[in-house]
A = this chain, B = another copy of it.
Amino acid sequence: MVVNLKEVARHAQVSVATASRVLSGSDYPVNDDMRRRVEASANELGYVPNAQAQGLLWGNPRAVGLVVGDVGDPYFSGMVEGLQALATELQYLVTVVNTRRSLRHELDAFRTLRAHRVGIAILAGSGLVRPEYPEAMTVALQAAKDAGEAVVTVGRHTLGVEVSTVEVDNVEAGRLLGRHLRDLGHADVGVLAGSMDLTSTVDRVKGLREVLGEGLVVREIEATRDGGWNAAGPLLVEHPGLTALVGTADQMAIGASAWLRADGRRVPDEISVAGCNDIWVSRDLVPSLTTVHLPLQEMGAAALRLGIAARDGQIGHEHLQVELVVRESTGPAAPSRQ
Protein backbone atom coordinates (compact mmCIF):
# COMPACT_ATOMS: atom_id res chain seq x y z
CA MET A 1 0.00 0.00 0.00
CA VAL A 2 2.66 2.46 0.96
CA VAL A 3 5.51 2.92 -1.46
CA ASN A 4 8.90 1.85 -0.21
CA LEU A 5 12.41 2.09 -1.50
CA LYS A 6 12.33 -1.31 -3.09
CA GLU A 7 9.43 -0.37 -5.30
CA VAL A 8 11.06 2.86 -6.30
CA ALA A 9 14.21 0.95 -7.17
CA ARG A 10 12.31 -1.58 -9.23
CA HIS A 11 10.37 1.13 -11.01
CA ALA A 12 13.62 2.92 -11.82
CA GLN A 13 15.30 -0.33 -12.76
CA VAL A 14 18.15 0.07 -10.32
CA SER A 15 19.16 -1.63 -7.13
CA VAL A 16 17.85 -0.49 -3.78
CA ALA A 17 21.38 0.55 -2.89
CA THR A 18 21.52 3.01 -5.75
CA ALA A 19 18.06 4.31 -5.01
CA SER A 20 19.03 4.83 -1.41
CA ARG A 21 22.19 6.67 -2.36
CA VAL A 22 20.20 9.08 -4.50
CA LEU A 23 17.28 9.58 -2.18
CA SER A 24 19.04 9.77 1.14
CA GLY A 25 21.23 12.61 -0.02
CA SER A 26 24.39 10.59 0.29
CA ASP A 27 27.41 12.12 -1.43
CA TYR A 28 28.26 8.77 -2.94
CA PRO A 29 28.77 9.14 -6.69
CA VAL A 30 25.88 7.97 -8.84
CA ASN A 31 25.57 8.07 -12.59
CA ASP A 32 23.45 10.99 -13.77
CA ASP A 33 21.06 8.82 -15.79
CA MET A 34 20.27 6.63 -12.85
CA ARG A 35 20.02 9.54 -10.51
CA ARG A 36 17.41 11.10 -12.76
CA ARG A 37 15.55 7.85 -13.18
CA VAL A 38 15.39 7.34 -9.43
CA GLU A 39 14.24 10.85 -8.73
CA ALA A 40 11.56 10.60 -11.38
CA SER A 41 10.29 7.30 -10.01
CA ALA A 42 10.26 8.54 -6.45
CA ASN A 43 8.25 11.53 -7.54
CA GLU A 44 5.84 9.60 -9.63
CA LEU A 45 5.15 7.03 -6.93
CA GLY A 46 4.97 9.63 -4.20
CA TYR A 47 7.72 8.04 -2.21
CA VAL A 48 8.23 9.31 1.32
CA PRO A 49 11.19 7.79 3.15
CA ASN A 50 10.35 5.94 6.33
CA ALA A 51 11.83 8.02 9.10
CA GLN A 52 11.45 5.13 11.51
CA ALA A 53 13.66 2.87 9.46
CA GLN A 54 16.15 5.67 9.06
CA GLY A 55 15.95 6.33 12.75
CA LEU A 56 16.76 2.72 13.46
CA LEU A 57 20.06 3.15 11.67
CA TRP A 58 20.97 6.68 12.62
CA GLY A 59 19.15 7.47 15.77
CA ASN A 60 16.87 10.48 15.59
CA PRO A 61 19.16 13.43 15.97
CA ARG A 62 16.61 16.05 14.99
CA ALA A 63 13.83 15.19 17.36
CA VAL A 64 12.96 16.81 20.66
CA GLY A 65 10.45 15.59 23.15
CA LEU A 66 8.79 17.99 25.51
CA VAL A 67 7.06 17.00 28.72
CA VAL A 68 4.63 19.61 29.95
CA GLY A 69 2.01 19.67 32.66
CA ASP A 70 -0.75 20.95 30.44
CA VAL A 71 -0.44 22.59 27.04
CA GLY A 72 -3.50 24.65 27.81
CA ASP A 73 -1.68 26.51 30.56
CA PRO A 74 -0.30 29.79 29.20
CA TYR A 75 2.89 29.15 31.13
CA PHE A 76 3.57 26.03 29.12
CA SER A 77 2.21 27.27 25.85
CA GLY A 78 4.51 30.28 26.09
CA MET A 79 7.44 27.93 26.44
CA VAL A 80 6.23 25.67 23.68
CA GLU A 81 5.91 28.70 21.45
CA GLY A 82 9.50 29.74 22.03
CA LEU A 83 10.81 26.23 21.60
CA GLN A 84 8.82 25.62 18.45
CA ALA A 85 10.08 28.81 16.88
CA LEU A 86 13.67 27.68 17.27
CA ALA A 87 12.84 24.08 16.44
CA THR A 88 11.22 25.06 13.18
CA GLU A 89 14.25 27.11 12.24
CA LEU A 90 16.61 24.28 13.09
CA GLN A 91 14.39 21.66 11.44
CA TYR A 92 13.73 19.79 14.63
CA LEU A 93 10.62 17.75 15.10
CA VAL A 94 8.80 18.49 18.33
CA THR A 95 6.70 15.96 20.16
CA VAL A 96 4.72 17.16 23.14
CA VAL A 97 3.43 14.97 25.90
CA ASN A 98 1.03 16.07 28.61
CA THR A 99 1.35 14.82 32.14
CA ARG A 100 -1.90 16.28 33.46
CA ARG A 101 0.41 17.34 36.27
CA SER A 102 0.68 13.90 37.77
CA LEU A 103 3.60 11.90 39.01
CA ARG A 104 2.83 8.69 37.27
CA HIS A 105 2.07 10.38 34.02
CA GLU A 106 5.30 12.29 34.04
CA LEU A 107 7.37 9.16 34.32
CA ASP A 108 5.26 7.54 31.64
CA ALA A 109 5.66 10.54 29.43
CA PHE A 110 9.39 10.48 29.82
CA ARG A 111 9.50 6.79 28.99
CA THR A 112 7.35 7.30 25.94
CA LEU A 113 9.70 9.94 24.63
CA ARG A 114 12.69 7.75 25.28
CA ALA A 115 10.95 4.89 23.51
CA HIS A 116 10.61 7.12 20.50
CA ARG A 117 14.30 7.87 20.72
CA VAL A 118 13.89 11.60 20.63
CA GLY A 119 17.50 12.21 21.52
CA ILE A 120 16.60 15.34 23.43
CA ALA A 121 14.05 15.25 26.22
CA ILE A 122 12.94 18.45 27.89
CA LEU A 123 11.13 18.28 31.19
CA ALA A 124 9.21 21.51 31.38
CA GLY A 125 6.66 20.45 33.91
CA SER A 126 7.74 21.82 37.22
CA GLY A 127 9.20 19.19 39.50
CA LEU A 128 7.04 17.54 42.07
CA VAL A 129 7.92 17.90 45.71
CA ARG A 130 6.70 14.51 46.79
CA PRO A 131 9.54 12.59 48.36
CA GLU A 132 9.20 9.44 46.32
CA TYR A 133 9.20 11.37 43.12
CA PRO A 134 12.73 12.68 42.73
CA GLU A 135 14.00 9.21 43.43
CA ALA A 136 12.04 7.51 40.70
CA MET A 137 12.85 10.29 38.30
CA THR A 138 16.51 10.17 39.20
CA VAL A 139 16.68 6.55 38.16
CA ALA A 140 14.96 7.32 34.88
CA LEU A 141 17.21 10.27 34.19
CA GLN A 142 20.35 8.34 34.92
CA ALA A 143 19.24 5.65 32.50
CA ALA A 144 18.66 8.26 29.82
CA LYS A 145 22.05 9.82 30.41
CA ASP A 146 23.74 6.45 30.25
CA ALA A 147 22.06 5.90 26.93
CA GLY A 148 23.62 9.09 25.64
CA GLU A 149 20.41 11.05 25.53
CA ALA A 150 20.22 14.72 26.30
CA VAL A 151 17.98 15.79 29.13
CA VAL A 152 17.08 19.34 30.06
CA THR A 153 14.90 20.39 32.93
CA VAL A 154 13.18 23.73 33.02
CA GLY A 155 12.21 25.67 36.10
CA ARG A 156 12.47 22.84 38.58
CA HIS A 157 14.85 21.80 41.25
CA THR A 158 17.80 19.82 40.10
CA LEU A 159 17.54 16.13 40.73
CA GLY A 160 20.20 13.67 41.76
CA VAL A 161 21.59 13.62 38.26
CA GLU A 162 23.69 16.20 36.48
CA VAL A 163 21.58 17.42 33.61
CA SER A 164 21.34 20.69 31.78
CA THR A 165 18.91 23.12 33.31
CA VAL A 166 17.04 26.27 32.59
CA GLU A 167 16.60 27.91 35.93
CA VAL A 168 14.18 30.51 37.12
CA ASP A 169 14.27 31.74 40.66
CA ASN A 170 10.72 31.19 41.80
CA VAL A 171 11.53 32.04 45.40
CA GLU A 172 12.81 35.39 44.22
CA ALA A 173 9.64 35.87 42.17
CA GLY A 174 7.65 35.40 45.36
CA ARG A 175 9.92 37.77 47.26
CA LEU A 176 9.57 40.48 44.63
CA LEU A 177 5.80 40.30 44.83
CA GLY A 178 5.91 40.16 48.60
CA ARG A 179 8.12 43.22 48.93
CA HIS A 180 6.09 45.18 46.45
CA LEU A 181 2.91 44.49 48.39
CA ARG A 182 4.51 45.07 51.76
CA ASP A 183 5.85 48.41 50.56
CA LEU A 184 2.32 49.34 49.58
CA GLY A 185 1.21 48.60 53.10
CA HIS A 186 -0.34 45.20 52.58
CA ALA A 187 -0.01 42.90 55.56
CA ASP A 188 -2.83 40.44 54.95
CA VAL A 189 -2.47 38.81 51.58
CA GLY A 190 -4.40 35.91 50.09
CA VAL A 191 -2.59 33.55 47.78
CA LEU A 192 -4.40 31.61 45.11
CA ALA A 193 -1.89 28.85 44.64
CA GLY A 194 -1.67 26.20 41.96
CA SER A 195 -0.81 22.65 42.93
CA MET A 196 1.39 22.56 46.01
CA ASP A 197 2.92 19.41 44.58
CA LEU A 198 4.87 21.58 42.18
CA THR A 199 8.15 23.10 43.22
CA SER A 200 7.37 26.28 41.32
CA THR A 201 4.23 26.87 43.37
CA VAL A 202 5.90 25.96 46.63
CA ASP A 203 8.86 28.22 45.89
CA ARG A 204 6.74 31.20 45.01
CA VAL A 205 4.73 30.82 48.17
CA LYS A 206 7.95 30.46 50.10
CA GLY A 207 9.26 33.75 48.72
CA LEU A 208 6.00 35.48 49.58
CA ARG A 209 6.07 34.09 53.09
CA GLU A 210 9.66 35.19 53.62
CA VAL A 211 8.47 38.74 53.27
CA LEU A 212 4.91 38.69 54.48
CA GLY A 213 5.19 36.02 57.13
CA GLU A 214 2.05 35.11 59.00
CA GLY A 215 -0.06 37.59 57.11
CA LEU A 216 -0.24 35.12 54.26
CA VAL A 217 -3.33 33.01 53.67
CA VAL A 218 -2.69 30.32 51.11
CA ARG A 219 -5.41 28.46 49.28
CA GLU A 220 -4.59 25.69 46.84
CA ILE A 221 -6.81 25.80 43.79
CA GLU A 222 -6.97 24.64 40.22
CA ALA A 223 -4.44 26.67 38.27
CA THR A 224 -6.86 28.12 35.76
CA ARG A 225 -8.81 31.28 35.16
CA ASP A 226 -11.93 29.58 36.46
CA GLY A 227 -10.07 28.36 39.51
CA GLY A 228 -9.30 31.98 40.35
CA TRP A 229 -12.85 33.09 39.63
CA ASN A 230 -14.33 30.44 41.89
CA ALA A 231 -11.90 30.82 44.76
CA ALA A 232 -11.81 34.58 45.19
CA GLY A 233 -15.24 34.92 46.78
CA PRO A 234 -15.02 32.13 49.35
CA LEU A 235 -11.52 33.19 50.32
CA LEU A 236 -12.66 36.73 51.01
CA VAL A 237 -15.63 35.50 52.98
CA GLU A 238 -13.39 33.47 55.22
CA HIS A 239 -10.76 36.17 55.45
CA PRO A 240 -12.45 39.53 55.01
CA GLY A 241 -9.32 41.31 56.20
CA LEU A 242 -7.29 40.52 53.10
CA THR A 243 -6.20 43.63 51.22
CA ALA A 244 -4.49 41.87 48.34
CA LEU A 245 -4.77 38.69 46.29
CA VAL A 246 -1.84 37.04 44.57
CA GLY A 247 -2.13 34.28 42.01
CA THR A 248 0.87 32.01 41.62
CA ALA A 249 0.10 32.20 37.93
CA ASP A 250 -1.47 35.06 35.99
CA GLN A 251 -4.55 33.24 34.85
CA MET A 252 -5.70 32.72 38.43
CA ALA A 253 -5.20 36.40 39.13
CA ILE A 254 -7.15 37.21 36.00
CA GLY A 255 -10.04 35.02 37.11
CA ALA A 256 -9.99 36.54 40.56
CA SER A 257 -9.92 40.04 39.11
CA ALA A 258 -12.89 39.29 36.93
CA TRP A 259 -14.81 37.97 39.90
CA LEU A 260 -13.96 41.03 41.98
CA ARG A 261 -15.18 43.29 39.23
CA ALA A 262 -18.36 41.28 38.87
CA ASP A 263 -18.81 41.54 42.61
CA GLY A 264 -18.45 45.29 42.42
CA ARG A 265 -15.11 45.62 44.14
CA ARG A 266 -12.70 48.07 42.64
CA VAL A 267 -9.13 46.98 41.89
CA PRO A 268 -6.78 48.27 43.18
CA ASP A 269 -8.69 50.82 45.30
CA GLU A 270 -10.48 48.29 47.45
CA ILE A 271 -8.23 45.33 46.90
CA SER A 272 -4.97 44.75 45.03
CA VAL A 273 -4.34 41.84 42.69
CA ALA A 274 -1.08 40.48 41.34
CA GLY A 275 -0.04 37.47 39.31
CA CYS A 276 3.06 35.68 38.16
CA ASN A 277 4.54 34.76 34.73
CA ASP A 278 3.48 37.81 32.74
CA ILE A 279 1.55 36.07 30.01
CA TRP A 280 1.04 38.15 26.90
CA VAL A 281 -2.38 39.48 27.75
CA SER A 282 -1.59 40.68 31.26
CA ARG A 283 -0.55 44.12 30.13
CA ASP A 284 -3.77 44.65 28.20
CA LEU A 285 -6.17 44.00 31.02
CA VAL A 286 -7.97 46.80 32.79
CA PRO A 287 -6.52 47.37 35.25
CA SER A 288 -3.36 45.95 33.75
CA LEU A 289 -1.92 43.21 35.90
CA THR A 290 1.05 43.61 38.21
CA THR A 291 3.07 40.46 37.88
CA VAL A 292 6.53 38.95 37.73
CA HIS A 293 7.87 38.62 34.25
CA LEU A 294 9.26 35.26 33.21
CA PRO A 295 10.82 35.06 29.76
CA LEU A 296 8.67 32.11 28.76
CA GLN A 297 9.56 31.99 25.08
CA GLU A 298 13.21 32.42 25.89
CA MET A 299 12.99 29.59 28.38
CA GLY A 300 11.70 27.27 25.68
CA ALA A 301 14.36 28.30 23.20
CA ALA A 302 17.11 28.05 25.81
CA ALA A 303 15.98 24.55 26.68
CA LEU A 304 16.37 23.44 23.09
CA ARG A 305 19.76 25.08 22.76
CA LEU A 306 20.95 23.38 25.92
CA GLY A 307 19.54 20.09 24.69
CA ILE A 308 21.47 20.31 21.45
CA ALA A 309 24.64 21.13 23.36
CA ALA A 310 23.95 18.25 25.73
CA ARG A 311 23.87 15.86 22.79
CA ASP A 312 27.48 16.82 22.28
CA GLY A 313 28.19 16.12 25.90
CA GLN A 314 28.09 19.74 27.04
CA ILE A 315 26.02 20.03 30.16
CA GLY A 316 25.03 23.62 30.69
CA HIS A 317 22.88 25.83 32.82
CA GLU A 318 20.99 28.91 31.84
CA HIS A 319 19.83 31.13 34.62
CA LEU A 320 17.14 33.49 33.50
CA GLN A 321 16.16 36.56 35.44
CA VAL A 322 12.72 37.25 36.79
CA GLU A 323 11.55 40.82 36.96
CA LEU A 324 8.77 42.55 38.82
CA VAL A 325 6.43 44.40 36.50
CA VAL A 326 4.38 46.92 38.40
CA ARG A 327 1.18 47.81 36.65
CA GLU A 328 -2.21 49.12 37.65
CA SER A 329 -3.73 46.25 39.58
CA THR A 330 -1.79 46.94 42.76
CA GLY A 331 -2.02 50.03 44.94
CA PRO A 332 -1.78 51.15 48.53
CA ALA A 333 -3.54 48.92 51.01
CA ALA A 334 -7.04 50.02 51.82
CA PRO A 335 -7.76 50.22 55.53
CA SER A 336 -8.59 46.74 56.74
CA ARG A 337 -12.29 46.03 56.82
CA GLN A 338 -12.01 43.72 59.73
Contacts and interface: CB of A to CB of B under 8 A. Distances in A.
Interface string A266-281: 0000000000000011
Contact of A97 (B93, B112, B286): B93
Given A146-B46, A284-B257, A84 B98 contact: yes
A213 interface: no
A148 B1 CA distance: 7
A81 interface: yes
A51 interface: yes
Contacts of A284: 225, 254-255, 257-258, 285
B93 A94 contact: no
Interface string A23-52: 000000000000000000000001011111
B97 A96 contact: no
Interface residues of A, number: 56
A161 interface: no
B114 A48 contact: yes
Contact of A80 (B46, B71, B257): B71
Contacts of A115: 48-51
A3 interface: yes
11 contacts: A2-B149, A48-B111, A49-B115, A50-B115, A52-B55, A72-B84, A72-B85, A93-B97, A96-B96, A257-B284, A286-B286
Given A1-B147, A46-B140, A281-B281, 17 more contacts: A1-B148, A2-B147, A2-B148, A3-B147, A46-B143, A48-B114, A53-B56, A71-B80, A71-B84, A72-B77, A77-B77, A77-B80, A87-B98, A88-B98, A88-B100, A94-B97, A257-B284
